[in-house]
Amino acid sequence: VEQRLYLGLDFGTSGARYALIDKEGKIRAEGKREYPLYMSEETIDWVKSWRSTLFGLLEDIPVSFRPAVASISIDGTSATTMIVDSKTGESLCKPLLYNQSCPEALPIVKAIAPANHTVCSGSSTLCKLVSWWSSSDAPNISAVLLHQADWLLWLLHGKLGVSDYNNALKVGYDPEVESYPPWLLSQPYSSLLPRVQAPGTTIGSIKESIRTQFGFPEDCVICTGTTDSIAAFLAARANQPGKAVTSLGSTLAIKLLSTKRVEDARFGVYSHRLDDKWLVGGASNTGGAVLRQIFTDDQLEKLSQQINPAETSPLDYYPLQDVGERFPVADPKMEPRLHPRPESDVEYLHGILESIARIEANGYNLLKELGATPVEEVFTAGGGSKNEKWIKIRERVLGLPVHKALQTEAAYGAALLAMKGAFAQ
């Protein structure tokens, strides 16, 4: 008999992927699909596009592996919101995408939520719900709110109205007390809120029709998911307090596993629950986008080779693409600082990489000051993670072991959630 396998699907901003892993965490199959751009009424029909991508990815899984799939989980973009009919599951409006803002709903949300709550942002799930509620004959319709991942999972298990506490954070769910807060439950639209479980909890069996169509086994279960950025963190398997993942992409984002929940709206710092721990995050506007404005990726590689990472650069920059910083310094008027530029490009790049490393170190220090578990070890994801010299510079500046994360794909993190759900059975 083939070893049991666990399937994770990631629905990210630019496309979707799957990863099929075994219980040792080895990838047995993986694949990727772009979202097809079906149009309806001159806009993209995301419902159709995501559905066809989901079933397309299931078709991409080698037939020989399918009978071994014990469980499936899915991550989606955070705050991507759908309102569906509570009986048929049919979409009652176009999906409201993660980055879509509902400014007209913000004053209404601010009037009911505590100051600086995560829902107090125009693109929060709650603003999207309030916007829908106030713009249609909504009160007469029996509807349910689902996040993108919830809805995709529903296509597989068929039980309407289930979410996880990572996706539900931006609609106002409190994962610490495991319920929606009273100020939210007293609103007329609270009947639309899905019930919430821990990520990686078994929801039920896969639908019989889908099971037989694709050849999944009879005991294949569907498990609650998470958001795409949390799934990417899970992929790195930084699963002890004090372990962290720095993402060096266009911007710099840090995520630290902590025993304590910390929040500070001034710095955009907040915590997601992960079982009995908290995932504390902060995002700076510095990062690789500035590097790309100055150097090509090819130059970055060649110049980096000539850097001596043991040497401290005397250059003190604050690389930003635009004016303004939020974390680890909250200053909307902060100016980018990239001068003086030395004659040598090697020295210049060394100065920039080291300056970004100092911002990273300040970020982890700030999280500690706010009460999080002190960082002990850093894994790295994103385009900058392949730069070995930068890793050495960061080890010196942070005074900590720094490694490239072995796995960084969100689909891999979703597969780990599927495994968690299957093991808890």
At its nearest, how many Å lie between ligand ADP and the CB of residue 245? 12
SS (H, E, C) the chain: CCCCEEEEEEECCCCEEEEEECCCCCEEEEEEECCCCCEECCEECHHHHHHHHHHHHHHHCCCCCHHHEEEEEEEECCCCEEEEECCCCCECCCCECCCCCCHHHHHHHHHHCCCCCCCCCCCCHHHHHHHHHHCCCHHHCCEEEEEHHHHHHHHHHCCCCEEECCHHHHHCCECCCCECCHHHHCCHHHHHCCEEECCCCEEEECCHHHHHHHCCCCCCEEECCEEHHHHHHHHCCCCCCCEEEEEECCCEEEEEEECCCCCEHHHCEEEEEECCEEEEEEEECCCHHHHHHHCCHHHHHHHHHCCCCCCCCCCCCECCCCCCECCCCCECCCCCECCCCCCCHHHHHHHHHHHHHHHHHHHHHHHHHCCCCCCCEEEEECHHHHCHHHHHHHHHHHCCCEEECCCCCHHHHHHHHHHHHHHCC
**Stretches 109-117, 146-154, 283-291, 396-404: which one binds ligand ADP (CB under 6 A)?**
283-291
φ and ψ at residue 330, rounded to 5 degrees: -90, 100
Site for ligand ADP in 353-412 (CB under 6 A): 382-384, 386-387, 390
Residues 12-31 that bind ligand ADP (CB under 6 A): none
The interface with ligand ADP within residues 243-272 (CB under 6 A) comprises 249-250
| Closest distance of CB 244 from ligand ADP, Å | 17
**Residue of closest CB approach to ligand ADP:** 383
For residue 352, the minimal CB distance to ligand ADP (Å) is: 9
Determine if 282 is a binding residue for ligand ADP (CB under 6 A): no
CB of 40: closest distance to ligand ADP in angstroms? 29
CB of 54 to ligand ADP, least distance (A): 23
**Nearer Cβ to ligand ADP (301/369):** 301
- Residue 153 or 248 having the CB closest to ligand ADP: 248
Beta bridge partners of 71: 6, 221
Question: Judged by CB under 6 A, does residue 300 bind ligand ADP?
Answer: yes
* Residue 301 engages ligand ADP in binding (rule: CB under 6 A): yes
Of residues 34, 176, 297, 316, which one binds ligand ADP by CB under 6 A? Answer: 297
Please say which residue, 146 or 307, places its beta carbon nearer to ligand ADP: 307
CB of 193 to ligand ADP, least distance (A): 32
Q: How far is the CB of 411 from ligand ADP (least distance, A)?
A: 15
* Cβ proximity to ligand ADP, 288 vs 413, nearer residue: 288
Answer for which of 292, 341, 368, 404 binds ligand ADP (CB under 6 A) is 292
Shortest CB 404 distance to ligand ADP, Å: 12
Q: Is 289 in the site for ligand ADP (CB under 6 A)?
A: yes
If the CB atoms of residues 15 and 139 are measured against ligand ADP, the closer one turns out to be: 15
**Applying CB under 6 A, does 331 fall inside the site for ligand ADP?**
no
Cβ closest to ligand ADP, residue 109 vs residue 300: 300
Residues 6+ away with beta carbon under 8 Å from 299 = 345
Site residues (vs ligand ADP, CB under 6 A) = 249-250, 288-289, 291-292, 297, 300-301, 304, 382-384, 386-387, 390
